[in-house]
A and B are shown apart, each in its own frame.
With several copies, the nearest count.
Chain A
């Protein structure tokens, strides 16, 4: 049964968690994915594991709120607390099934920019890649998360921090990385997939006006079968159980 009141970010967490399959090893970074993994492993994906580039490996939720992957509740009772090269080795040798990425800008092929954006004549410096470039290159698939704002959807990102698919439909032909590239984009208004390397609309969040939402993109977003039109659903609302868990993991709504 769906709850009646939830925040857009709670829905994003629920939608992101749904992208983790049972048995997956998930590469988790900052912000919402911190909550999404805990939700997934507590519900439909009990045998999933999370790896964090700080060196942490976990098989269950933290017993306390975490601002960052290195907060003590995330280290306490972890499976392993090791170093980054151990985690990046798993990623590079192909043992990470899914990785989460944020972004200030995304283009039609899932290229992400978290390094520097243009605002009129000025360039604004952002924090940079962190592990995003590595996850984008090497995770089995990636799930992108970002607030739904028109300025974030661009024909061409100002800087390719995290490479997506090739513009020519050759999939990941733009680089020799072992990863499968972007598989989903979850915004605060809709969830998108990728078909032949191009972003398509998969589901619209409840209560969102589809046409107005799509107008935020500078190109005509397709709805798939490869890559014309296909079915578009409504994103499931977070269940009561999910909301209860999300609010346990993030009691003050710091991230959500």
Chain B
């Protein structure tokens, strides 16, 4: 019932088969598991359904790598620059199937999965084409006061991929900074892959159980992966590499240009270490803030 610790990222990611539905980019622009995503591409895992709220670049990259057949998301692009060209071209050429969501509808669908109920009601969506043009949602009437609500059915991804600050080898995870929809996605997913800046002794996790965001029986694989979220930021570890987002935007407006980019950054590196050798930016935390002390005990 615990995670199987993985020796390498490659080992961990190899457990995700082609054809899987994968929820990721769950903390929005924070702590996006780019390392795991690039490894999926390197392994040739394809026919993926990607599930997420806003996706800041990772979905665009995986689409460009030909790994994706379907996207269930609220926003796909590049937060620093707008358009994600690979997503846009794939949609416009009918290369992928897109299910349009709002951030809240993705969040509620995963929350329904995590909560183990078939659907959740919301006051959002109604009046929009996100609702009207979708086959996913239903209209419902609150039996108590007769109010109209939209009903969002559960989504239960095969996998959720989460990047975190620290995890024990068993798969108990400390996570801080904003978490977006990590919690509902982890609850809804059949399997969870955790990449962590640090794999730590279980005692570290046990010293602060209120910090634990994910527990082991939800986790299938955990692997240490420093810088695993670059170019996105990780609270306490490194800042966002905005130049990288802009460079990507400038370099991927055609598939040929993207392929060249991917040859350098995805296929042309063996692992994360080699990748980081190519990054030329100082993203280090220069003004650390230490959290005020918290004690438990008995």
Contacts and interface: CB of A to CB of B under 8 A. Distances in A.
A129 to B, nearest CB: 5
B102 A133 contact: yes
Given A79-B212, A130-B54, A85 B107 contact: yes
Contacts of A235: none
Interface in A84-126: 84-86, 88-95, 115, 122-126
Contact of A92 (B117, B216, B232, B297): B117
A81 B239 contact: no
Contact-size category for B = 35 or more
A49 B1 CA distance: 9
Contacts of A49: 1, 215-217
Contact of B2 (A47, A57, A70, A127): A47
A80 B172 contact: yes
A72 B236 CA distance: 8
B102 A55 contact: no
Nearest to B203: A77
A162 B127 CA distance: 8
Interface string A46-73: 0101001111110100011001111111
Contacts of A214: none
Contact of B107 (A71, A80, A84, A125): A84
A250 interface: no
Chain A at the B interface: mostly helix, strand, loop or mixed? loop
B77 interface: yes
A53 B103 contact: yes
A177 B116 CA distance: 11
A199 to B, nearest CB: 17
A148 interface: no
Contact of B205 (A52, A71, A79): A79
B30 A162 contact: no
A178 B123 contact: yes
B34 to A, nearest CB: 14
B255 interface: no
Interface in B124-173: 124-130, 132-133, 147-149, 172
Given A25-B217, A69-B28, A79 B206 contact: yes
A84 B179 CA distance: 7
Contacts of B148: 176
A8 interface: no
Interface stretch (A9-17, A35-43, A134-142): A134-142
A70 B27 contact: yes
Nearest to B92: A125
Contact of B184 (A56, A78, A85): A85
B84 to A, nearest CB: 7
A80 B212 contact: yes
Contact of B129 (A25, A81, A115): A115
Q: Which of A49, A67, A76, A177 has the most CB of B within 10 A?
A: A76
B115 A93 contact: yes
A159 B133 CA distance: 9
B83 interface: yes
B79 A133 contact: no
Q: Which of B100, B107, B180, B245 is most buried by chain A, counting CB atoms within 10 A of its CB? A: B180
B3 to A, nearest CB: 12
Interface string A153-183: 0000001111100000000001111100000
A115 B185 CA distance: 24
A83 interface: yes
A92 B124 contact: yes
A144 B42 CA distance: 42
Contacts of A177: 123-124, 126-127
Interface string B94-130: 0000001111110110010111110000111111111
B209 interface: yes
Contacts of B296: 72, 75-77
A94 B124 CA distance: 12
Contacts of A94: 116
- A25, A64, A94, A128 pick with most chain B CB within 10 angstroms: A128
B240 A134 contact: no
24 contacts: A67-B79, A67-B80, A67-B240, A68-B28, A68-B56, A70-B240, A72-B298, A75-B30, A76-B289, A77-B207, A81-B176, A84-B103, A85-B107, A85-B181, A85-B183, A92-B116, A93-B113, A126-B88, A127-B54, A129-B74, A137-B124, A176-B126, A177-B124, A178-B123
Interface of B: 1-2, 27-30, 53-54, 56, 73-77, 79-80, 82-84, 87-88, 91-92, 100-105, 107-108, 111, 113-117, 122-130, 132-133, 147-149, 172, 176-184, 187, 203, 205-207, 209-210, 212, 215-218, 232-233, 235, 239-240, 242, 245, 285, 287, 289, 296-298
Among all A-B residue pairs, the 4 with the closest Cβ atoms: A175-B127, A93-B116, A127-B77, A92-B116
Given A75-B296, A122-B92, 13 more contacts: A49-B216, A57-B209, A70-B178, A72-B233, A79-B215, A81-B177, A81-B210, A85-B108, A92-B122, A129-B74, A137-B128, A160-B132, A176-B123
